[in-house]
Amino acid sequence: MEDIPSLVAHDLGLDPSQVAAVMALLDEGCTIPFIARYRKEATGGLDDATLRDLDARLAYLRSLQARKEEVLRSIEEQGKLDDALRAKIAEATVLQRVEDLYKPFRKKRATRASKAREAGLEPLAQRMMAQGRRDGDPLVAAAVFAKEGSAYPTAADALAGAQDIVAEVIAEDAEALGALRSLARRHGQLATEPMGEPDPAEPPRPPESLGRIPGHRVLAANRGEKEGTLRVQVRLDGDEARSRLERRFLKGRSPWSEPLGAAIADSYRRLIAPALEREMRAELTERAQAEAIGVFARNTEALLRQRPVRGARIIALDPGYRTGCKLAVLDEYGKLLDHGTVYPTPPRRQVAETERVLAELEDRYDVNVVVIGNGTASREAQEVVEGFIERFHRPLGCTVVNEAGASVYSASALATEEHPGLDVTTRGALSLGRRLQDPLAELVKIPPQSIGVGQYQHDLDQAELGRALAGVVERVVNAVGVDLNTASASLLGYVAGIGPAVARNIVAYREEHGPFRSRTELKAVPKLGPKAFQNCAGFLRIRDGRQPLDATGVHPESYKVATAVLERAGLGPGAVAAGGAGGLAERLGDLGALAQELGVGEPTLRDMVAELEKPGRDPRDDAPPVVLSRSVREMGDLKEGMELTGTVRNVVDFGAFVDIGVHQDGLVHVSQMADRFVRHPSEVVAVGDVVKVRVTAVDEGRGRISLSMR
């Protein structure tokens, strides 16, 4: 096999030296966030996403190499490995090709062909495949193999047994399988039809090309089949497939042409076509899942990168009907100040009492924002709150937050550990308020699959989805940085090199010894060794510590250089502690020359200067601000042509769902996103974006709102 760095480099369009450097760093135990941030010179500045693609491709090729060795060893042990087969396996670049080549040598359960082989019919099958033109009647040749009292008592039975062997040989021919697989991918179709009586309002959907069908329709078909509402079928061009097999295996007219042709037809119908259909369905599902996981990952990253609302003192409402609205009051740091229940919604409708409680809490705790979950009874609760603000001229902002996953968190062991004295619903209200203050810190407590910003997430491979989303959370957490003395174990667990167990040890150490005063104290945390320290230290912040550089993204390994940089500009560490060394780059002049003088890479120096100028800068501050007011409250208020401002809540393959202030999000179809062709909605919008939309249709009966951004 070609060396792996060259293969990865070719596949990803990189230089082999870059790939080799990354492989060496990964093998040393360096994490991807650490490599992306602090080893730019070695990698040529590869970003986090490229490094993750490289890591995934590297893992695949290493797995492929291991499988090749396993297959070669197995075939060699059978005494059937020749140079030609060894070369074909060595040249294979995908696992499917290796498995195709191994198929004839794999141990199988009993088949019609294996029974025929046991009866001694293989020589007859080989003679059929040889197609001797001077051979006589095949039945005469088969009569020699017929045995009374066996499973093949007549010449016809023996010939049929030989045909079974031939059918299996054809079905295991790697070249034939590869050709038919390509044919199926190009010309196969996926057809769906409803089980039972069709709905007259839903016209039948025509079959769609396997190569063009959108991923979300594949997942929808899979779900319909699983629920028993759809019949799903892969349609293949059987005539063309059989014709190709005949061209490969028939060598012209001979006495064997008819039985061999029948064996080819049987091989395709009984063995190849069913296997191809399963393969095509699996490929479609794998592709659709990969696309859906990609959408989910992009949405989750956008959600986690939403701007925190700093300084918000909050009344958070988790709305409900019969049980009322659970209420939690939070200070600007997320600390719970008070909690209770109000009943502004049916059946009690205690509006006046709710307004009295809101006014009392606002005055007592200096509240400036009311947060309402977007679930059941959200619209009714919002009407009461906004009515209270308008009638009494209260200086309050009001916003609705997506409560997806709040119930999962509030009932979790983590929530019980964090808030042992609170009931489940109050924990939910508390979580909603904290989502506004710092979405990242709160949402990391929820399994990414439960955040609810994807499509068909419960139908996806949960292990793959979990890995992809964990990578997204890790990327965002490390890009933002984490306050070592205030972060929860949930947040610390996503910092490069730490993980859940060490995160819990950090919190336990903090509780026992008090706040960390320097990054070097991390080395005393149980199970946090030198490699873990190297990976995590630069992403952890300590404010007001002994070393001012601990509050920045400068890695401890570069403190000596950072100090020299500050001295060159006539500044000391105090400049960093005072809020940043503004204008540092201008004072330093030619950074390329300075990097050479200090013996450091220029990318590292530029990152260092940026950190020293604005220590602890939060990249989320560049995100759109949270909208804290609404002019529309229910679907009945909507009119066609109305222009509104809304927040993108979810992006899927066919469009984006936008919160415009009513209980039901509106859909902007991909065709309505721009006055140009848009391949995928993520080209135009991301979760959390604030967009201007126009109402194009409202269907209250079906709860559908159509919007346009054009």
pLDDT tens, position by position, 684-704: 998 888 888 999 998 887 788
Q: Please report whether residue 455 resides in a domain.
A: no
Both tokens of residue 429?
């209200």
Reduced 3-state DSSP string for 14-40: CCHHHHHHHHHHHHCCCCHHHHHHHCH
Q: Please report whether residue 338 resides in a domain.
A: yes
* Whether residue 579 has pLDDT greater than 50: yes
DSSP state of 206: P
Q: What is the mean pLDDT of residues 216-242?
A: 93
Q: Please report whether residue 309 resides in a domain.
A: no
Q: Please report whether residue 429 resides in a domain.
A: yes
* Whether residue 58 has pLDDT greater than 50: yes
Cα 269 to chain center, whole Å?
38
Least confident segment among 74-83, 124-133, 258-267, 462-471: 462-471
Is the same domain home to 47 and 175?
A: no
Q: Please report whether residue 387 resides in a domain.
A: yes
pLDDT at 144: 93
How far, in Å, CA of 448 to CA of 457, rounded?
10
The secondary structure of 480-544 as a DSSP string is: H-EETTT--HHHHTTSTTTHHHHHHHHHHHHHHH-S-SSGGGGGGSTT--HHHHHHHGGGEE-TT
Is the same domain home to 42 and 96?
A: yes
How far, in Å, CA of 193 to CA of 204, rounded?
7
Work out how many domains the chain is built from and give that number.
5
Supply angle C-alpha 512, 517, 522, rounded to 5: 70
Percent of the chain with pLDDT over 70: 98
Is the same domain home to 170 and 252?
A: yes
* Whether residue 461 has pLDDT greater than 90: no
Is the same domain home to 123 and 221?
A: yes
Q: Please report whether residue 703 resides in a domain.
A: yes
Give me the residue label for tokens 């009492």: 353
How far, in Å, CA of 203 to CA of 197, rounded?
12
Is the same domain home to 160 and 282?
A: yes
| Helix or strand holding residue 669 (H, E) | strand 666-669
Is the same domain home to 155 and 27?
A: no
The number of CA neighbours under 13 Å toward the Cβ of 272 is 33
DSSP state of 579: T
pLDDT tens, position by position, 353-364: 999 999 999 999
Q: What is the mean pLDDT of residues 87-106?
A: 93
Q: Are 250 and 257 in contact (CB under 8 A)?
A: yes
What is the overall mean pLDDT for the chain? 90
* Whether residue 88 has pLDDT greater than 80: yes
Give me the residue label for tokens 């809020």: 579
* Whether residue 677 has pLDDT greater than 60: yes
The contacts found for 79-87 with CB under 8 angstroms, 24 or more apart, are 80/105
> Taking Cα atoms as reference points, which of 451, 452, 318 lies closest to residue 373?
318
Give me the sign of the Cα torsion angle 587, 592, 595, 596.
negative
Among 243, 270, 297, the domain-final residue is: 297
CATH number for the domain that contains residue 566: 1.10.150.310
pLDDT at 2: 57
| Residue 459 confidence class, pLDDT cut points 50, 70, 90 | confident
pLDDT tens, position by position, 141-181: 999 999 998 999 999 999 999 999 999 999 999 999 999 99
Is the same domain home to 168 and 82?
A: no
Among 621, 648, 681, the domain-final residue is: 621
Q: Are 462 and 351 in contact (CB under 8 A)?
A: no
Alpha helices in 207-256, H assignment, sequence order: 215-227, 238-249
CATH number for the domain that contains residue 365: 3.30.420.140
Both tokens of residue 222?
């899979």
Is the same domain home to 92 and 9?
A: yes
Least confident segment among 362-366, 559-563, 658-662: 658-662
pLDDT at 445: 87
Is the same domain home to 131 and 214?
A: yes
pLDDT at 627: 63
How far, in Å, CA of 587 to CA of 576, rounded?
15
Q: Which residues 6+ apart lie within 8 Å of 517 measured at CB?
A: 542, 545, 546
pLDDT tens, position by position, 186-214: 999 999 999 877 777 677 789 999 999 99
Is the same domain home to 544 and 668?
A: no
> Pick the residue with more confidence: 213 or 109?
213
Cα 143 to chain center, whole Å?
61
Least confident segment among 53-67, 501-515, 596-610, 634-648: 634-648
| Residue 296 confidence class, pLDDT cut points 50, 70, 90 | confident
> Pick the residue with more confidence: 638 or 12?
12
Q: Which residue type does 608 have? A: M
> DSSP strand E in 220-379: where?
230-235, 314-318, 325-330, 336-342, 369-373
Both tokens of residue 688?
């959390």
How far, in Å, CA of 485 to CA of 502, rounded?
15
Domain range for residue 37? 4-105
Q: What is the mean pLDDT of residues 589-601?
A: 91
Is the same domain home to 80 and 191?
A: no
In this structure, how many other beta carbons lie within 10 angstroms of the beta carbon of residue 296? 27
Q: Are 351 and 358 in contact (CB under 8 A)?
A: no
pLDDT tens, position by position, 343-355: 999 999 999 999 9
Among 49, 74, 105, the domain-final residue is: 105
Is the same domain home to 279 and 141?
A: yes
pLDDT at 587: 86
| Residue 1 confidence class, pLDDT cut points 50, 70, 90 | very low
Q: Please report whether residue 443 resides in a domain.
A: no
How far, in Å, CA of 570 to CA of 553, rounded?
21
How far, in Å, CA of 705 to CA of 687, rounded?
18
Q: What is the mean pLDDT of residues 553-572?
A: 91
How far, in Å, CA of 675 to CA of 693, rounded?
14
CATH number for the domain that contains residue 286: 1.10.3500.10
Q: Are 35 and 50 in contact (CB under 8 A)?
A: no
pLDDT at 464: 85
Q: Please report whether residue 659 resides in a domain.
A: yes
